[in-house]
Chains A and B, each alone.
Chain A
Amino acid sequence: MTSIVVPPGPPLVVAFDASAVSGAVFSRGLLRARLRAFARVELPRGALVPTPTGPSLPSPGEVADALLALRERLGPGAARATLLLPDGVGRFGLFEAPSGTDLREFVRFRLAPSLPYPPAEAVVDALRVGRGRVLGAAVRRSVVAEYEQAAKAAGFEQERVDLAPLVALTGLLRRGTGVHVILGDAASSLAAFDGPRLAAFRSRRRDPGPGEAGRLREEARRTLRLAGTPDGNGFPLTFLGPGADALVEDIAGTVPAPRVGRAPSLPAGADAAWLSGFLG
């Protein structure tokens, strides 16, 4: 049961991505959650492929083995978990929601034409991002079930299921301003802010390799234009997640603008973008 008086940071989070499964145990601080333990277990190449239509886990056994190892590393008591699905499985849309409407049904209606599968197969929910504004997301039910079954096979008891880019965005809503690139292994999401207001949100497949930093910078510029925000001579650009350091160095070494920054530092090895969403 959701509780008002319990702080928002969940005690245990298990996150999936193409290269690894990772987990974080939180303790409840006075004002915000604290990271008590973090572990990451690499996956064999091709064991997990984040796609919107599925199947995402061609080798569920290998993923379950990695989850068992992760559970062992996180220590005793690590069982009831919030599952985070990777960037690349969900479809997103930023909407003005009419008051008094059923948010999930409204988001389903708006996202239906863009889904690559029948809308009835979508699990839909929304994150409130401002007064009357929501970021809606849809994931195919069969895709969610794959991750749920893998977690169950490893002995995790499921608390709820969330999407990694949505959790990362929760942290960004407190910061605002500029364009934030939330990096996942297979896809990245771009959140453009007009001051403190989320003005656009897009998700794109990653194209790693030489020149990726420049391509992401252009995507960021396109996202700003989509948001109707003039990009001028430079705009604050932030990378979060694995590989952020290299991208920042790449851009900073080639062009004077846009301004480039990184998310606040996290514990060694814990560079997942979603962590900042729980830690604030």
Chain B
Amino acid sequence: MRAPDFSTRHRATRRPGWEWGLLGAGVIAAALCLGALLTARAEERGVRARLLEVRREAEGLERRARALERRGREGVTGQAWLTEEAPPARVLARLAGLLPDDVRLDALSLAYGRRLEVEMQVAARSPQAYDRLLERLEASPSLADLVLGAEEREGEVRTTVRASYVPEGRPR
């Protein structure tokens, strides 16, 4: 693993070929020795991950059922329901989860009414990153009626995206 270097001068990091050869031989030998062990562990991890996923889903459904029961009892409707189901922190977390690693959210506006209108100012490192963002936004069940702002496709892309936020359980 390369150690970090914060020197103000640039440092070359080329390595001699025989070192790469030695490293390759070592890696192959280690891979052969540990192959069986790794396979078993991968299987175990897979099972554990699936179990965890199922548990999380079950917990989510339970929470959702409790919330619906509570709303039914309290008669919460309309905007109140929206602010309860989609508080700013939850909306921000959901939108942040949709961002690819090379896209950042510079500003976010939320307007609560009959619908929750979202306006995002985003910055993407490249047009490709911006395209990945759009794919995710379009595929997300949490967003509807996407409206894209003007964009500059040279280098870093900065633009505004508007959409309606759809909380879980409400039809798009």
A-B pairs under 8 A by CB, number: 72
Give the B interface residue count (CB, 8 A). Answer: 23
A97:B101 contact, CB within 8 angstroms? yes
Complex Cα gap A227–B138 (Å)? 29
Given contacts A1-B13, A2-B13, A3-B19, contact A148 B5 (CB under 8 A): no
Question: Does A126 make an interface contact (CB < 8 A)?
Answer: yes
CA distance A87 to B153 in the complex (A): 40
Interface size on A, residues (CB 8 A): 34
A contact face: mostly helix, strand, loop, or mixed: mixed
List B residues 1-33 near A (Cβ within 8 Å). Answer: 1-8, 11-15, 19-20, 22-23
Assess whether A137 is interfacial by the CB under 8 Å rule: yes
Q: Is A106 an interface residue (CB 8 A)?
A: yes
A81, chain B: closest CB distance, angstroms: 12
- Does A144 lie within 8 Å of B13, measured CB to CB? no
Q: Name which residue of chain A comes closest to B1, CB basis.
A: A128
Closest to A136 in B: B4
Task: Specify which chain B residues have a CB less than 8 angstroms from the CB of A161 in the assembled complex.
Answer: 5-8
Q: Check if B102 is an interface residue, CB within 8 A of chain A.
A: yes
Q: Which residues of B contact A (CB under 8 A)?
A: 1-8, 11-15, 19-20, 22-23, 100-102, 104, 106, 125
3 cross-chain pairs, A with B, having the tightest CB-CB distances, nearest first: A125-B4, A160-B5, A161-B6
Known: A1-B15, A98-B101. 5 other contacts (CB 8 A): A5-B22, A98-B102, A145-B8, A160-B6, A166-B4
